[in-house]
Structure 1
């Protein structure tokens, strides 16, 4: 629970510091321009900017900035939980990073460094924090790398793989997701538009343990009464991948981006499954039938393809 308060505190510090710096640099005009961009996308034209529209433009830009700042706060909270470091140094580092970007960055720089995470905390309770480094050759081509550390996730009833076993009575599901690595080339056909993501993804081995309660179950040709534990592993692999994404560059050098790059070229890998029963012993035939059912549920879920998801904030500079 304390990490929730830590995240909120760091987020508040970064938010107000960033707003103070941006408005001291006259960023209101940039926010109005962003509002006009929204108008072009939604209505195919830019409307005259009144005071009210300027206010909405500012609110729209702040809403986007909110997402980026939340990403940084999530990154810091994850580091605290993993490294057990002193909060004050992490908070100071976050503020300095936020201050340094608008004060020192140049518009649309060639080099890019960023903070990212591979899970959406409000959906999974996980962060999978990481870093990204890259180089913009021009407005259309970017090459870079992304690395995300391993993470421990309590998915429980949100686990697709546990639910897809068909066993019912899920008590808990805990997953250790391996580290992720992406070598990426982005191709942006239209400047300021979405980009195509091409490259190679490395996913280290994942391991999930699902516990099912004690009850009567029909497994194969027989009925059994007892509890079941499933240990499921997906082996590590290095695969070609393709996907899409979008990055918005602010004039102060900060950028928000998200992309999804996945191996669509090979089939979903078949996991290694280990069944542990309590209160009964499965026959060989029924065990094979259950394993087949579990494998079918796993390979039928596209989330189990090798991939890298990114949501984060970066800094462009020359």
Structure 2
């Protein structure tokens, strides 16, 4: 929440500082930009206030999982730290491509500020968390010398999109900007499931089921991104 608040302050500050940049939107309507964190945006300014385009974000480890084994730095992407068992030492995380179709509306013809509406599509997410061998409570029972693996999987997302951002176009055609965009998501839009594995054969299926339900309910269902874009307008 603090990061979102700071982004909003930055957007409105730049909105005041860089007035008049929108005069090039209609003259240089075609916009092609690369996203600093991976991917591309292409679209067209029909006038000073209407832009129609789309983004493809490919930096989310598409096709190949990223594995981290470092108990000093590893963190879960789909579960809050406060709910995790002790002894997390490694993870494998993968997430599919994000695609958006956006109608951007600029309320002021002297500003690059815009509101985004459209569609948001995101591939599935999968995270495997590895926990070391120790005495630990699983379900309603404490088991000794037990390691566990938690697998959290979230379905793909197809949802309405909302966002805000800012885009600056120079006289020579160079353009850049940033936006905070996300899909409107709930459990009707996407679902998560959790699986808990252990080599300790004494752990009962009932205790495993309790843990799996806990992590399923706590899985992050949000679908959003913040990106910086640079490119050219023609």
CA contact (8 A) 1:173 1:208 kept: yes
Which structure has greater strand proportion? Answer: 2
Kindly state the Cα deviation for residue 185 of structure 1 after the two structures are TM-superposed: 0.8
- Which secondary structure does the structure 1 equivalent of 2:78 belong to? helix
Q: Does 1:223 align with 2:132?
A: no
1:206 aligned to which of 110, 120, 125: 125
CA distance in 1, matches of 2:149, 2:185: 32
CA contact (8 A) 1:107 1:252 kept: no
Structure 1 unaligned residues grouped into runs of 5+: 1-37, 43-105, 118-126
2:91 aligned to which of 148, 173, 182: 173
- Which secondary structure does the structure 2 equivalent of 1:171 belong to? strand
Kindly state the Cα deviation for residue 40 of structure 1 after the two structures are TM-superposed: 9.0
Which structure has greater helix proportion? Answer: 1
Aligned counterpart, 2:100: 182
Structure 2 unaligned residues grouped into runs of 5+: 1-12, 18-22
Larger Rg: 1
- Which secondary structure does the structure 2 equivalent of 1:159 belong to? coil
CA distance in 2, matches of 1:154, 1:186: 37
1:277 aligned to which of 198, 207, 225: 198
Aligned counterpart, 1:147: 56
Structure showing greater relative contact order (alpha-carbon pairs closer than 8 Å, 6 or more residues apart): 2
Q: CA RMSD in A?
A: 2.7
CA distance in 2, matches of 1:165, 1:280: 24
Aligned counterpart, 1:103: none
- Which secondary structure does the structure 2 equivalent of 1:161 belong to? coil
CA distance in 2, matches of 1:40, 1:212: 47
Kindly state the Cα deviation for residue 262 of structure 1 after the two structures are TM-superposed: 1.6
- Which secondary structure does the structure 2 equivalent of 1:273 belong to? strand
Q: In 2 relative to 1, CA 265–218 (structure 1 residues): closer, same or farther, beyond 3 Å? A: closer
TM-score, normalised to structure 1, is 0.58
Kindly state the Cα deviation for residue 39 of structure 1 after the two structures are TM-superposed: 9.6
CA distance in 2, matches of 1:308, 1:142: 19
Count of matched residue positions in the alignment of Structure 1 and Structure 2: 204
CA distance in 2, matches of 1:130, 1:259: 14
CA contact (8 A) 1:181 1:201 kept: yes
